[in-house]
Amino acid sequence: MSGSYENELAVALEAVRAAAEVCQSVQASITPDVLEKKDRSPVTVADYASQAVVCRALAEAFPDDPVIGEEDSAALQQPDQAPFLNRVKEELGKVGIDGTPEEICGWIDRGGQSEYSNRFWTLDPIDGTKGFLRGEQYAIALALIVDGKPQLGVLGCPNLPTAEPWDGQPGCLFSAVAGEGAATWSMEDSDAAPVMVRVSETSDPASAVMCESVESGHSSHGHSAQLAEKLNISGQPVRLDSQAKYAVVARGEADMYLRLPTRKDYNEKIWDHAAGVLVVLEAGGTVTDLAGRELDFTHGRELRENRGVIVTNGPLHSAVLETLGAIGVA
Ligand SMILES: Nc1ncnc2c1ncn2[C@@H]1O[C@H](COP(=O)(O)O)[C@@H](O)[C@H]1OP(=O)(O)O
Ligand SMILES: [Mg+2]
Ligand SMILES: [Mg+2]
Ligand SMILES: [Mg+2]
């Protein structure tokens, strides 16, 4: 079957798979000692290496496309950061990518765009850095935005258990192309055919499964608890890091994902949402901000015209927005 953005999808999937391999290799090196010292160096290395892998692939396949990525190499180029740069080089070597320090920084900085344009990619090389460091969920998130709308999204979730037909082995990918649905792929078996995913049909709020951040600084747990009470939701919220939350809503394991502002001055970043939004929309779900507006990807790095992000299977959306309004969150 041929679809639109076929080449883009193939390139994005391959790039995200390679980035996931690098990230898993770095995550495996995290020892209890590193964790205890609250040493962020593993995520630093993996963030840069992942962005280098993906941006290198995009530069090769789509040299004219700008990339708005989370990271840039400015800090990495400081003399005292040489050990990190060396480790990034080593990790890239393990997946068969050889580059000089200058080339590596050049790949990373391919993601240094910050202005909106008609066609651009946005990349979060590691989304959910706290989850990554805890050895838990994180994602590599890549989306192509054309005329302000996500048209292609790929989420790599290296630690998220696969669903049918791969039976719980860890590591899956999600992809979506606008108008063509959303699919999941095995991370392990790159020859396996994808399987389409679909949101749940839950329409009774009381039986809904909610998911939210592990980190209470990223989404107000107090407000989601109030919402759950109002809607008579008795099940505990599922807490996981990263855009894996969009993935579990897309495949119907959770019915909603709430990202409720914890402070006035934080604007959500486009790379934290673009890929996940398209995966959920194409799986049949609904995504808006607290005011019921679509997310607006036309303002550079930030979703500065939106507040909060509400993701549901669709049937639950209006009840969630209304109730949030009623408890004074919207
Ligand atoms: N104050 C904040 N409010 C909302 N999101 C944040 C905040 N600080 C960092 N983030 C970003 O939230 C996302 C992860 O949140 P969660 O896993 O809880 O959903 C990440 O993209 C993280 O960046 P990063 O990509 O560097 O991890
Ligand atoms: Mg992120
Ligand atoms: Mg990140
Ligand atoms: Mg970050």
pTM of the model: 0.97
| 72 vs 81: CA distance, rounded Å | 13
Pick from 197, 228, 254: which residue ends a domain? Answer: 197
| 133 vs 126: CA distance, rounded Å | 11
Res 95: pLDDT: 95
Burial class (CB in 10 A: 0-12, 13-18, 19+), 61: middle
What's the pLDDT tens digit per position in 200-247?
A: 999 999 999 999 999 999 999 999 999 999 999 999 999 999 999 999
Same domain, 240 and 178: no
Q: Flag whether 294 is in a domain.
A: yes
Pick from 150, 165, 197: which residue ends a domain? Answer: 197
Q: Is the CB of residue 302 below 6 angstroms from any atom belonging to ligand 1?
A: no
What's the pLDDT tens digit per position in 276-315?
A: 999 999 999 999 999 999 999 999 999 999 999 999 999 9
Any known ligand binding at 70? yes
- Which residue has its alpha carbon closest to ligand 1 atom 9? 218
| 15 vs 163: CA distance, rounded Å | 22
Those residues with Cβ within 8 angstroms of residue 224's Cβ, 6 or more apart along the chain or in another chain: 210, 212, 237, 258, 260
Q: Is the CB of residue 71 below 6 angstroms from any atom belonging to ligand 1?
A: no
Task: Reply yes or no on whether 262 is catalytic.
Answer: no
Q: For the domain that residue 219 is a member of, what is the CATH number?
A: 3.40.190.80
Give the H/E segment covering residue 140: strand 139-146
Res 2: pLDDT: 60
Any known ligand binding at 80? no
| Residues 261, 304 contacting (CB under 8 angstroms) | no
**Structure tokens that stand for 205 in this block:** 């709020």
| 47 vs 222: CA distance, rounded Å | 31
Judging by DSSP bridges, how do beta strands 238-239 and 210-212 pair with one another? Answer: parallel
Res 168: pLDDT: 74
Same domain, 95 and 187: yes
Same domain, 63 and 117: yes
Quote the ligand 3 centre to 62 CA distance (angstroms). Answer: 23
Point out the catalytic residue in the list 47, 241, 255, 289. 47
The total number of structural domains in the chain stands at 2
Res 264: pLDDT: 86
Same domain, 187 and 293: no
Pick from 197, 224, 246: which residue ends a domain? Answer: 197
Same domain, 308 and 290: yes
Task: Reply yes or no on whether 129 is catalytic.
Answer: yes
Interaxial angle between packed helices 41-61 and 82-94, expressed in degrees from 0 to 180 and rounded to the nearest 10: 60
What's the pLDDT tens digit per position in 111-138?
A: 999 999 999 999 999 999 999 999 999 9
Q: Position 302: which residue type?
A: E
Same domain, 29 and 82: yes
Question: Between vectors from CA 244 to CA 243 and to CA 249, what angle results, nearest 5°?
Answer: 100
> 55 lies in which domain range?
6-197
Q: For the domain that residue 133 is a member of, what is the CATH number?
A: 3.30.540.10
Residue 250 — very low, low, confident or very high, per pLDDT cuts 50/70/90? Answer: very high
Classify 6 as helix, strand or coil: helix
- Mean pLDDT, the chain, rounded, equals 95
